[in-house]
C-alpha cells in the first residue's frame, strides 16, 4: 500500500482556471458514461454518507465501487471495489501508462485520481459506483459522471468560500447543480433550515430525508440520508459504521478519541457530542486554508483544557506568535500526548493531522 505521505501523483497543481479532464475522457471515448453513479456532495458528512451507501449496496450487489477522499493512511483508499482497496500494481500501472497525458492535458491532482478511478472501474461490470465530490459539485470533476442514478446532499455550511462563494446560497448552488436530468436529489435533514431556498430548484426531484438513531448523534442525519437512498434502490440496511477518523474511540478508559472535524459547523457538532465524556484534554490542529481563528475562539469558549498545535505537513496551519501567546500552544504534539497518555484525551482537526495521530497511537501500543 502507498502511504499518504509518499509522493505518488507527481504534480503540484491542485486548482486551475481551466479543467481539462473532460477533454481527455472525450478523446478516449468517455468510459465514465458506462458507470452507474451515485454522487455525494455537501460540506460535512460526505465521507461517512458515501461509506454507508457503499456498505449497503455491497449487501445486495456483486460489484460496487467507492471513490472517496482524502485518504486516511494509504492512498489506495481513494479507490475501492467490493471492500478491497485498489492494489499497488494496478494503481501504478494505470498511472504510468497515461502519465504523458496528465502533462499534455495539464490535469490537477484530483483530476488524475478521478481519471484513474474511472479507468479502474471501467475494467469491471459495475453495478454501482459511489462517488464523493472533492470540492463543490458543479465545477468538481466528479460532475463528469453522466450516467447518474441519484445525488445525495449532506450537511451544507460555509467552507471553501474562495471557490464556492461567500454565501450559503452560492455553496448550495454549486453542490446541487451536479444533478443530471431526471436524477433525484436526497437531502439531509441537516439542510432543512435551507428548505425555502432549495425548493426553488423546481426542475429537480427533491427528496427530504430524516435522521435515524445512531450511536453518534451527529451521524444520524448522514445515516438517515443513506438509508433513504438505499431504500430508493430497494436495499435494506442498518449497519452504519463510519470511516476511521470520524468520531473514532481508540481507547475508552482513559478516553482517547480522534475526529477529523475541520470546519466550524463540524466542530460545533463534535463539541456537542463529546460533552457527555466529562473532563478531557482537547488538542486541535488545523489545515492552513480553514477558518482556524473562528474555530479556536469557539473552542476556547466551549472546551476546557484546550491546546493547539501544528503538524508536519505542507497543509498545516503555521500558528502566529500572537495566537501562540493567547492559547495553550504545544510545540511537539507527540511528546505532549505521550506525557498525557493516562488522561482522557480528545484530538480533532485536519484530516491530514488525524491520520498522523492514529499512526502514532498505534505505534505507542506496539512498544
Secondary structure (3-state) at 281: strand
Per the structure, the complete domain to which residue 278 belongs is given by: 248-366
Question: What is residue 13's predicted lDDT score, i.e. its pLDDT?
Answer: 66
pLDDT tens readout for residues 100-155: 999 899 999 999 999 999 999 999 999 999 999 988 778 889 999 999 999 999 99
Task: Please indicate, yes or no, whether residues 174 and 94 belong to a single structural domain of this protein.
Answer: yes
Task: Please indicate, yes or no, whether residues 53 and 101 belong to a single structural domain of this protein.
Answer: yes
Per the structure, the count of domains in the chain is 2
Q: b or e along 210-243 (b: 16 or more beta carbons within 10 Å of the residue's beta carbon)?
A: ebbebebebbbbbbbbbbbbbeebebebeebebe
pLDDT tens readout for residues 50-89: 999 999 999 999 999 999 998 999 999 999 999 999 999 9
Task: Please indicate, yes or no, whether residues 276 and 214 belong to a single structural domain of this protein.
Answer: no
Cα separation, 222 vs 208, in Å, equals: 12
Q: Is residue 200 part of a domain?
A: yes
CATH number, domain with residue 169: 3.40.1190.10
Beta-bridged to residue 287, according to DSSP, are 316
pLDDT tens readout for residues 283-299: 999 988 767 889 999 99
Confidence tier at 314 by pLDDT (50, 70, 90): confident
- Among residues 232, 267, 289, which one ends one of the domains? 232
Question: What is residue 5's predicted lDDT score, i.e. its pLDDT?
Answer: 82
- Among residues 191, 206, 232, which one ends one of the domains? 232
Residue whose cell numbers read 502511504: 3
Task: Please indicate, yes or no, whether residues 277 and 179 belong to a single structural domain of this protein.
Answer: no
Q: Is residue 168 part of a domain?
A: yes
Question: What is residue 266's predicted lDDT score, i.e. its pLDDT?
Answer: 87
- Among residues 205, 232, 259, which one ends one of the domains? 232
Those residues with Cβ within 8 angstroms of residue 200's Cβ, 6 or more apart along the chain or in another chain = none
Q: Is residue 14 part of a domain?
A: no
CB atoms within 10 A of CB 337: 22
Q: Which three cell numbers stand for residue 31?
A: 468510459
Compute the CA torsion angle 104, 109, 110, 111 (nearest 10 deg).
0
Q: Is residue 4 part of a domain?
A: no
Task: Please indicate, yes or no, whether residues 252 and 222 belong to a single structural domain of this protein.
Answer: no
Global pTM reads: 0.92
Amino acid at each position: 500500500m502507498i502511504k499518504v505521505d509518499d509522493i505518488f501523483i507527481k504534480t503540484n497543481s491542485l486548482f486551475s482556471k481551466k479543467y481539462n479532464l473532460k477533454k481527455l475522457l472525450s478523446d478516449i471515448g468517455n468510459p465514465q458514461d458506462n458507470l452507474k453513479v451515485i454522487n455525494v456532495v455537501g460540506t460535512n458528512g460526505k465521507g461517512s454518507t458515501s461509506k454507508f451507501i457503499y456498505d449497503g449496496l455491497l449487501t445486495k450487489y456483486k460489484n460496487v465501487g467507492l471513490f472517496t477522499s482524502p485518504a486516511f493512511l494509504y492512498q489506495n483508499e481513494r479507490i475501492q471495489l467490493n471492500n478491497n482497496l485498489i492494489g499497488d500494481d494496478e494503481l501504478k500501472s494505470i498511472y504510468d501508462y497515461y502519465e504523458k497525458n496528465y502533462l499534455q492535458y495539464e490535469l490537477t491532482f484530483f483530476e488524475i485520481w478521478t481519471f484513474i478511478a474511472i479507468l479502474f472501474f471501467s475494467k469491471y461490470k459495475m453495478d454501482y459506483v459511489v462517488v464523493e465530490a472533492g470540492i463543490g459539485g458543479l465545477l468538481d470533476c466528479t460532475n463528469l459522471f453522466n450516467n447518474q442514478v441519484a445525488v445525495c446532499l449532506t450537511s451544507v455550511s460555509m467552507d471553501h468560500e474562495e471557490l464556492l462563494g461567500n454565501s450559503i446560497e452560492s455553496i448550495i448552488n454549486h453542490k446541487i447543480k451536479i444533478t443530471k436530468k431526471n436524477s433525484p436529489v436526497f437531502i439531509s435533514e441537516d439542510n432543512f433550515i435551507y428548505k425555502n431556498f432549495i425548493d426553488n430548484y423546481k426542475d429537480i426531484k427533491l427528496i427530504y430525508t430524516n435522521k435515524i438513531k445512531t450511536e453518534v448523534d451527529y451521524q444520524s442525519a448522514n445515516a438517515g440520508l443513506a438509508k433513504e437512498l438505499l431504500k430508493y434502490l430497494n436495499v435494506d440496511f442498518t449497519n452504519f459504521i463510519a470511516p476511521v477518523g470520524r468520531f473514532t474511540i481508540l481507547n475508552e478508559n482513559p478516553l482517547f478519541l480522534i475526529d477529523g472535524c475541520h470546519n466550524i459547523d463540524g466542530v460545533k457538532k463534535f463539541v456537542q457530542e463529546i460533552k457527555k465524556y466529562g473532563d478531557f484534554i482537547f488538542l486541535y490542529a488545523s489545515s492552513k486554508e480553514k477558518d482556524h481563528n473562528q474555530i479556536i475562539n469557539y473552542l476556547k469558549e466551549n472546551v476546557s483544557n484546550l491546546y493547539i498545535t501544528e503538524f508536519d505537513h505542507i497543509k498545516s496551519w503555521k500558528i502566529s506568535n500572537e495566537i501562540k501567546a493567547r492559547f495553550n500552544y504545544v510545540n511537539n504534539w507527540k511528546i505532549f500526548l505521550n506525557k498525557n497518555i493516562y488522561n482522557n484525551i480528545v484530538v480533532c482537526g485536519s484530516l491530514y493531522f488525524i491520520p498522523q495521530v492514529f499512526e502514532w497511537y498505534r505505534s505507542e501500543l506496539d512498544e
